[in-house]
Chain A
Amino acid sequence: MISFNNVSMRYADGFEALKSVSFQLADGEMAFLTGHSGAGKSTLLKLITISERPASGEILFKGLNLARVLGKNIYRVRRDIGVVYQNHRLLPEKNVFENVALPLRIIGTDYRELAKRVRAAISKVGLSGSEKKFPNSLSSGEQQRVGIARAVVSKPSLLLADEPTGNLDPELSQEILKLFEQFNQVGVSSLIATHDLNLLDKNNKRKLTLSHGVLIDKSERIEGRDAVL
């Protein structure tokens, strides 16, 4: 699904966020990206969404090198990746339905199909009946569910999450994790950046551990389908 080969990333101020990182995430695999604050987790995710460019190395996504991708391919890659953010990034003036529908509106989905898929995604995250509610009227956990529904509504090949349980209590965190596992079970590859030890301890997925921009642990194979690194 995605392959990092000797990827390094340096910000304009000289800070080296990633140092020669290499790993692979197989089709249908779910893995955690962990490490301390500032270890490079968010930077790694930004490289996948082409929000940042690496200083060196290659990032292959479905055979496309994201380090060099330009023009329309940027839009195509982003449309094939669902992203869940720690702060949800919901638009406050749009209701739940409209927020979840955004990725489908962008790709020009017919309204009937759009409505069907949006309602299905909202139902999947357990928010049926909340379509007309606005984000400000929802709890933090509900807002995160809306963010997840938006990330999966366009049926992306890859689901990324940047600290998805950062603002949630342990019980809600487990519920959110279950949602990711459900999507993974239907074949969606997932990479979840978190330093929530509680979350990491309670599952058996592979963990990629970053420390000061270096991938120090990538070989913990839990499931048979995980790629050989």
Chain B
Amino acid sequence: MINQKGSKVGTQFFSGLRFFFLSHVREIKGALSEIIGKPLSTLVTISLIGISIGLPSIFVILGENFLAGLDRIDQSVKINVFLDKSVLVAEGLSLSKEIQDQPDVSLVRFISAEEAIKDFQKQTNLSEILFTLGQNPLPHVVEVVPVSFDPIDVAILVSSLNDLNGVESASTNLGWLERLYGVFSIVRSIGIVFAIIFFVGLILVVAHTIGVAIQNKAEEIELLLLLGATSSFIRRPFFYLGFWYGLGGGLVANIITQISFFPLAAGVERLAQSYQSSFSFDRGGSDTFFLILLIGIFLGATGAFLALSKKMGEINPKRHGYSYK
């Protein structure tokens, strides 16, 4: 008897699960048929969604490429640590090792005063003047390449190097780096501002489109409610409509982004070369592709949710016992 009851409950559970799965599949297909059945309006809607997601995506990917480019500028960002004149070569080498052991330091190179004066002589042809000085005026120097090229991180490292015993002064030419980060910061900010504006607009576009679809089906919705349909049964096709619009928009956004990068990539690579960096432009991989799709689906579903919240309430909730919660 118990087994029979258990078996019945199990059968009901799997039957319910099957109904749940099949009804969702049916609604997904139904929503797809609906948007395919209206190709022109669907094209307009998913193009709008695609542009709304595509433009900020372009800025974000450009920003990421700037960041990646900066990571490769390992020859340009150096901190020169000038040691006290009293520091001997052996002490200088020891101090170099101490600096190398710091976690925020990528590479160090110790340049003794003798090496420095030889380089100076080679580069300037001022050996006669140096000879008149009688002694080498240059100190030992440690060249430091930081791990991070973020101007704030570099400034913190310079400060910590200045505090070391035996260090006369540590300095770097951060001006160009700060300017580059400033450009990157603006590009990223534009991307974020565009994303917020376009995403809000996109949600409203989807909400309007689905709102019109709900309005067109008001009679059907009223009938379904009278026949005993639940609110989730009514809502489901419109959610999937939002899903398909979002997915289609995400695909269009990916296409727009990739097409835009053909002329942009060359420009960015030239800019990177001017900063002595060689890297190939990253158009975004499969993770970026799926992220854009997910953003599209999320925004489409959000638009559908907004439309349902507004329109379903207008289809006389009191009369039909409908409550959207």
A: residues with CB less than 8 A from B are 49-52, 70, 72, 74-79, 83, 89, 91, 102-103, 106-108, 111
Contacts and interface: CB of A to CB of B under 8 A. Distances in A.
A79 B228 contact: yes
Contacts of A75: 228-230
A91 B228 contact: no
Contacts of B230: 72, 75, 106
Given A108-B19, A108-B23, A78 B228 contact: yes
Contact of B227 (A76, A78, A108): A78
A103 B227 contact: yes
A74 B227 contact: no
Given A51-B319, A91-B220, A79 B23 contact: no
Contacts of B227: 78-79, 102-103, 106
Interface of B: 16, 19, 22-23, 219-220, 223-230, 233, 319-321
30 contacts: A49-B226, A50-B321, A51-B226, A51-B319, A51-B320, A52-B319, A72-B230, A74-B321, A75-B228, A75-B229, A75-B230, A77-B228, A78-B225, A78-B227, A78-B228, A79-B227, A89-B219, A89-B223, A91-B219, A91-B223, A102-B224, A103-B227, A106-B224, A106-B227, A106-B229, A106-B233, A107-B228, A108-B16, A108-B23, A111-B22
A193 B92 CA distance: 106
B19 to A, nearest CB: 4
B103 to A, nearest CB: 61
Contacts of B224: 102, 106
A77 B226 CA distance: 10
B289 to A, nearest CB: 36
Q: Chain A CB within 10 Å — which of B219, B225, B228, B320 has the most?
A: B228
Contacts, number: 42
Given A78-B227, A106-B228, A108-B23, 20 more contacts: A49-B226, A51-B226, A72-B230, A74-B321, A75-B228, A75-B230, A77-B228, A78-B225, A79-B227, A89-B223, A91-B219, A91-B220, A91-B223, A102-B223, A102-B224, A102-B227, A103-B228, A106-B229, A106-B233, A108-B19
A87 to B, nearest CB: 11
Nearest to A79: B228
A50 B223 CA distance: 13
B315 to A, nearest CB: 12
Contacts of A79: 227-228
Contacts of A103: 227-228
A79 B230 CA distance: 10
A203 B138 CA distance: 123
A213 B22 CA distance: 46
A70 B322 CA distance: 10
Nearest to B231: A75
A172 to B, nearest CB: 23
Contacts of A108: 16, 19, 23
A78 B234 CA distance: 15
A102 B224 CA distance: 8
A179 B320 CA distance: 29
Nearest to A49: B226
A83 B226 contact: yes
Given A52-B319, A91-B220, A108-B19, A78 B233 contact: no
A42 to B, nearest CB: 13
A89 B222 CA distance: 10
Contacts of A51: 226, 319-320
A106 B234 CA distance: 10
Nearest to B26: A105
A91 B226 CA distance: 14
Nearest to A106: B229
Contacts of B321: 50, 70, 74
Nearest to B318: A53
Contacts of B223: 89, 91, 102
A77 B228 CA distance: 8
Contacts of B319: 51-52
Contacts of B219: 89, 91
Contacts of A102: 223-224, 227
A126 B242 CA distance: 40
Q: Chain A CB within 10 Å — which of B230, B320, B321 has the most?
A: B321
A79 B114 CA distance: 97
Contacts of A78: 225-228
B208 to A, nearest CB: 22
A198 to B, nearest CB: 28
Q: Chain A CB within 10 Å — which of B19, B220, B224, B226 has the most?
A: B226
B149 to A, nearest CB: 60
A54 to B, nearest CB: 14
B231 to A, nearest CB: 9
